[in-house]
Every structure is written in C-alpha cells, then in structure tokens.
C-alpha cells in the first residue's frame, strides 16, 4: 500500500498476512476481541478480516478464499448480518479523511441543510437499523437517496413489510426515530396503508394516559409538599468544607451549589448526582448531610452492600470528627442487641446520620425527624426495595448517587421529572483504565498479577460463584506461588469477612479473589489491577462499577475482562463488551448509562405494565407520547 492509501477490490489477489501488516502500518490497531469496537481497529478470524474505517458507521468485512478477495461488505457488528455489498473499499491511513468515499459516509449527510437533528440522526442510525416513523410505524432504514432532478432532493429510504418502501424527505426527519425496545423482543415490520399502526398507537396512548397519571400523582405530591427551607451555610459548614484535603473539581463545586439551592427552597429535593467512579460523590454527600444535621434533622444513607456501608461509615466519621455529629451504622453483621439499641436511638433522635444496607427499609426502623435520604448506587436495589423507597420519597429530600444511573432514573432526569447534577471532571492526576477483553488466558492472568505485585500493588480477582471460590483462590495461588491470596464472599459471617478484608486492606495479602461484593464504592488506592472472569454474565453497569474499583490514584490501572475459551460474544453481550472497550476515557459512566438503556431495552421506564407498550412503538416514540400526555394532563390540574 502507498502511504496515502489504496483501493481493495472484489476478486483481487492479496496475501492475508500482507493485508494485516499493511493495515497495521497505516495506523489501524489489531484488537483481540472478535469484532472491531470502534473506528481505527481491525481483527482477523480465519479467512475474515474486519476493519472499521472512519467514514463508515459500521465495520467492513473482507471475505477471502485463499489469497482472493471473494466479498467485501458492510455488516451489523451485533447480529453479524450483512447490510450492503461493496465492490471496492478505499483504505487510507487512520486519522486521514479520504477524498473519495462511496455510498454511506458521514460526509454525505445533508451537505446543504446541515441541521443539528439530521446530524444527530445519522450519528445513531446505520443501514439495517429498525426505525419508527410516527405516522407509518416500524420499518428498516435502508439508505439515503437523492433525486436527479434539476433541484435535487434527499430522502431517507425506509423498508416496510412486503418490501414496500417509504421515502421520507430530510425536511421531515424529525418524524423518524431509532427503535429501542424491550430486551429480547423482535418487532415485526409494519405494513403500509392498512391502518394497523394507527390502532396500535391508539391502544398504547390509552395505556400511557393511565401510566402518566400515576407518575404525575407521585411527582405532584412532591410539588405540593412544602417544608421549611434550610438556612444559608453556617461557620461550621465553611470549616468542614475548608478541611477537605484535596482541591475540588469545578463540577463538584457546581453540584454542591445546585443541591444547596434545592435545600434552600421550600419544595423537597429529588436530585440525581451522576459522577463517574472516584470523581468525588461521597464528599458532596458528606457536605450536604452535615448541612441537614445542623438544623436538627436526621440523614439516612442507603447502600447496596455491607462493605460499602462500612466504608461510608468510617469516611463520614473521619470527616465529621471535629463536630458534634453522631454517626452510626446498621447492618445484618451487627448483633441483634446492637441493632435494637441503634434503632431505639434513631427513634428518639440520638443518632444524626445512619448508614445502612436495605436493613434500613425494615418496618421496625423509625426516625424522629428524617430530613434527607441519600441513596448510593440506586440501580443495585431490587423492585421491593424501590417500591418502599418510592413511598419515602414524597416527603423527604432525596439525593440519589450513581456512576451509571438506571435507565428509569436517567430518563426521568432527561425528561425533567427529576433534577440532575453531573460530575464529568476527573480529580487531578487521574489516568484512564487500560482495558483488555478476550478469552480466559492463564498466562495473561499470571503476568498481570506478577506485574502488579512487582510495583507493590494489589489485585482484585472477581469470580462470582460462591461454590467454587475456594478452589479458584487455590488455582490463583498455584499459578502465582509468590502471591498471598485470600478470598471473600457475601455468605461469610461478619467476623470472617471483616478478618479477610482487614488482612487485604492492611497489605498482608496481594490478591483478593471475591464475588461482586467489592462492586460498589470501595476505595483502595493500592489496588490497580482487576481481573473479571465470565464477564459475559454481567450487566454493563455492573462491569463498569467493578472496573471502577481500580484507578483511584495517579497510578496507571489495568482491567482484564475474560470470557470462557471457545465462547464467541454476540448480540447484547458483544455490544456490552464493545461499549466497555470504547469507554476507556475518564468520565464515561454517563454515556454508558445511555448505552445500557439501548442494550437492556427501556421496559423499566414505568414498570412491568408498560413493557409491551414500549415494545410496540419503540422507546423514543413512547417517550414522545408520554411527554405530550403529561403536558396535557398538567394543563388540566
């Protein structure tokens, strides 16, 4: 290949090894995962070479028989479905914009109109994707066509059932949205001109009215509920904030100010604090909790795991040690007698801040005067706990914290039903986490552990099967004889778990083989390598949280995500891995939450009853209909 690139054609003869070398020379990265995750990557599997060029929305597959190129085509990297045959492909050095670009390219998109919506549409939709036209229903996006008239006009081409085509002028592109449904549901293409789509829409609309009414009732209660506004900052508040040993990021300061403004208004707060792992959410929570306590109110901090509750407990106590604030922790690891005493003191107001797992939601727990509920990692709680929380939320201030918000919370925030503050800025000196994804490889595991120990660091090894964790710890110890290996899981007794974690925290163990109990909030700057087995079994938010347990200092951090040997990721699993692979930059949690919504489907938006409706019309149109209905109902109130 010449430096400026070359054209590869069907029926051309070329040695696969030479093509691989040439791609590398042109700046493309050979990745281990089965399919390229982003532009600038390529991969080889047998006679197939996949490459993701900058000008395409999907990878190109080069199919060789021996040394002859048999086929070249664009394909959907999730389903592996062929989308469009190409006679040739022009490959240029990575990072160089080509002067010649066939058919489907970003440059082609609406050169004259240049509308923001059109650009957004084309950044999310590729040929072969399902789309929803508000008037005609679900179809498959084919391409963009242009008429050859004197005044050329561009159209989106959408294919419907029986091969019928709909041509949508680009001026009407806002009537078309990407189809996002409920995980696993495969919709049928609608038939044009039968009236079936209008009936579906009417049925969904009727159901939405009831759902919207229920939703509005909950939020209307909050709108109508008034409480005494909190006062401006005190001298104690300033002293606490000045004692912070790090420099706050601009995002942290902005979030704190937004929350304080909420508290100084008479309407109860319901705000989500979205901050990537290690970006300073806990410090924000401590400052806000202290503000509440100074006015005689109590604060409840709800965490998904006992380990996280314990860490928050120690951190809150340490930060508030100079002030007369009583902080306590409630968990199943406390003796019954201790639990009863804590609950009694909570009821009479002797405890200012209580930190707990879902034990806090039990019927025997009462507060003297609860002012603020802080919910850490909201997506980790089950349906029953969320229903209990829903009842509590109407009359107290609520601050939810998450690195990857659950889709329900995210979209209520985006549709203005909840307020949101975002921490996008990493603390000074923080580095992105290097992420490796591939088949389980003992040699890589051995090298990773030895490299971390060599620089006096520690390792998390996530193995999420309690029944086999003892054997796995023994395997790791045998693989790396010089490593001191311990194991931990949630079914251990309180004393056992405390003993193991103390050994690891104090540096007397190198490797902690554990279940996902380390997945939320644990802050150990000395742990900068994490190995996760059977990554295909985890959700996107969960893997992202686990990966966030490392890289919490200025040291380079590494994450190894392994799936079983012989396993080929496909569908949702592949998309999750690709999303993680491409989200290496700091602050990617919020973007991943949106991706999680697409992968898992949006059925959780309004509960199980709405799953079918979301599937019938797609999430984007469902949201439009919901938004319109909410506005109409608001006008009647």
Backbone CA torsion sign across 472, 474, 476, 478: negative
Q: Would 534 be classed as within a structural domain?
A: yes
Q: Would 633 be classed as within a structural domain?
A: no
Q: Would 264 be classed as within a structural domain?
A: yes
Q: What is the dihedral of CA 200, 188, 133, 162, to 10 degrees?
A: -110
Q: Would 610 be classed as within a structural domain?
A: no
Q: Are residues 437 and 414 in the same domain?
A: no
Q: How many domains, in total, are found in the chain?
A: 4
Q: Are residues 247 and 395 in the same domain?
A: yes
**pLDDT (0 to 100) of residue 144:** 79
Residue 44 CA to residue 42 CA, distance in Å, equals 7
pLDDT digits (tens, 9 = 90+) for 395-424: 789 998 886 654 444 455 445 566 888 887
Phi-psi region of 128 (alpha: psi -120 to 50; beta: other; left: phi over 0): left
Q: Are residues 472 and 396 in the same domain?
A: no
Q: Would 221 be classed as within a structural domain?
A: no
Q: Are residues 572 and 547 in the same domain?
A: yes
Q: Are residues 39 and 149 in the same domain?
A: no
Domain boundary among 160, 179, 198: 179
Q: Are residues 459 and 352 in the same domain?
A: no
Domain boundary among 423, 442, 475: 423
Degrees, nearest 5: CA angle 40-45-46: 135
Q: Would 194 be classed as within a structural domain?
A: no
Q: Would 206 be classed as within a structural domain?
A: no
Q: Are residues 282 and 261 in the same domain?
A: yes
Q: Are residues 343 and 279 in the same domain?
A: yes
pLDDT digits (tens, 9 = 90+) for 463-502: 999 999 999 999 999 999 999 999 998 888 877 887 888 8
**pLDDT (0 to 100) of residue 296:** 96
Q: Would 174 be classed as within a structural domain?
A: yes
Joined tokens for residue 37: 């995750």
**pLDDT (0 to 100) of residue 380:** 66
Q: Are residues 76 and 145 in the same domain?
A: no
Residue 635 CA to residue 623 CA, distance in Å, equals 18
- Going by C-alpha positions, the residue among 300, 330, 305 that lies closest to residue 549 is 305
pTM: 0.61
Going from the C-alpha of 254 to that of each of 248, 267, 284, 418, the distances in angstroms are 10, 20, 10, 17
Domain boundary among 423, 448, 465: 423
**pLDDT (0 to 100) of residue 587:** 54
Q: What is the CATH number of the domain that holds 122?
A: 2.40.10.170
Q: Are residues 402 and 275 in the same domain?
A: yes
Low-confidence ranges of the chain (pLDDT < 50): 1-3, 97-114, 116-117, 406-410, 413-414, 601-608
Q: Are residues 263 and 412 in the same domain?
A: yes
Could you tell me the residue range of the domain that residue 168 belongs to? Answer: 116-179
Q: What is the CATH number of the domain that holds 240?
A: 3.40.50.300
Q: Are residues 41 and 172 in the same domain?
A: no
């Amino acid at each position: 290949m010449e430096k400026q690139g070359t054209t590869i054609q069907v029926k051309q003869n070329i040695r696969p090894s030479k093509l691989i070398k040439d791609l590398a020379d042109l700046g493309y990265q050979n990745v281990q995962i089965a399919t390229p995750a982003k532009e600038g990557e390529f991969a080889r599997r047998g006679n197939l070479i996949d490459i993701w060029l900058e000008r395409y929305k999907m990878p190109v597959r080069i199919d060789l028989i021996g040394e002859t190129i048999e086929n070249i085509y664009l394909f959907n990297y999730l389903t592996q479905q062929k989308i469009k045959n190409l006679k040739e492909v022009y490959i240029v050095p990575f990072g160089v914009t080509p002067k010649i670009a066939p058919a489907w390219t970003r440059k082609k998109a609406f050169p004259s109109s240049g509308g923001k919506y059109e650009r957004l549409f084309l950044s999310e939709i590729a040929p072969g994707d399902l789309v929803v036209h508000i008037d005609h229903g679900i179809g498959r996006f084919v391409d963009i066509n242009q008429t050859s008239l004197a005044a050329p006009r561009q159209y989106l081409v959408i294919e419907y059932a029986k091969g019928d085509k709909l041509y949508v002028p680009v001026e009407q592109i806002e009537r078309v949205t990407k189809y996002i449904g409920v995980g696993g549901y495969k919709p049928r293409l609608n038939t044009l001109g039968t009236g079936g789509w209008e009936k579906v829409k009417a049925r969904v609309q009727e159901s939405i009215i009831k759902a919207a009414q229920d939703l509005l009732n909950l939020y209307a209660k909050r709108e109508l509920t008034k409480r005494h506004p909190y006062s401006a900052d005190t001298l104690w508040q300033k002293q606490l904030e000045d004692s912070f040993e790090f420099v706050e990021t601009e995002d942290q300061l902005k979030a704190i100010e937004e929350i304080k403004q909420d508290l100084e208004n008479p309407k109860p707060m319901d705000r989500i604090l979205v901050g990537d792992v290690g970006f300073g959410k806990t410090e924000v929570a401590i400052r806000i909790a202290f503000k509440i306590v100074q006015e005689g109110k109590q604060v409840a901090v709800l965490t998904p795991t006992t380990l996280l509750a314990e860490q928050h407990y120690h951190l809150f106590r340490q930060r508030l040690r100079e002030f007369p604030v009583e902080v306590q922790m409630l968990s199943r690891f406390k003796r019954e007698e201790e639990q009863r005493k804590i609950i009694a003191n909570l009821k009479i107001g002797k405890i200012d801040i209580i930190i707990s797992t879902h034990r806090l939601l039990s019927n025997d727990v009462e507060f003297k005067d609860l002012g603020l509920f802080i919910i850490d990692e909201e997506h980790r709680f089950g349906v029953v706990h969320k229903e209990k929380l829903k009842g509590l939320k109407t009359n107290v201030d609520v601050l939810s914290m998450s690195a990857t918000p659950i889709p329900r919370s995210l979209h209520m925030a985006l549709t203005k039903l909840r307020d949101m503050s975002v921490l996008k800025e990493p603390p000074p000196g923080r580095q992105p986490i290097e992420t490796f994804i591939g088949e389980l490889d003992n040699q890589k595991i051995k090298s990773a552990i030895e490299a971390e120990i060599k620089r006096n660091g520690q390792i998390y090894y996530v193995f999420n099967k309690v029944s086999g964790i003892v054997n796995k710890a023994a395997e790791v110890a045998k693989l790396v004889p010089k490593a001191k290996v311990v194991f931990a899981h949630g079914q251990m007794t309180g004393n056992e778990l405390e003993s193991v974690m103390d050994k690891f925290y104090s540096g007397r163990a190198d490797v902690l083989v554990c279940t996902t109990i380390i997945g939320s909030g644990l802050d150990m700057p000395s742990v900068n390598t994490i190995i996760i087995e059977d990554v295909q079994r985890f959700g996107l938010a969960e893997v992202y949280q686990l990966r966030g347990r490392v890289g919490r200092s200025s040291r380079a951090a590494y994450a190894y995500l392994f799936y079983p040997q012989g396993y080929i990721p496909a569908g949702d699993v592949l998309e999750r891995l690709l999303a993680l692979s491409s989200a290496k930059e700091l602050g990617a949690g919020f973007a991943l939450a949106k991706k999680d919504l697409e992968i898992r489907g949006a059925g959780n938006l309004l509960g199980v009853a709405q799953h079918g409706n979301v599937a019938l019309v797609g999430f984007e149109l469902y949201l439009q209909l919901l938004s319109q209905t909410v506005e109409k109902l608001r006008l009647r109130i």
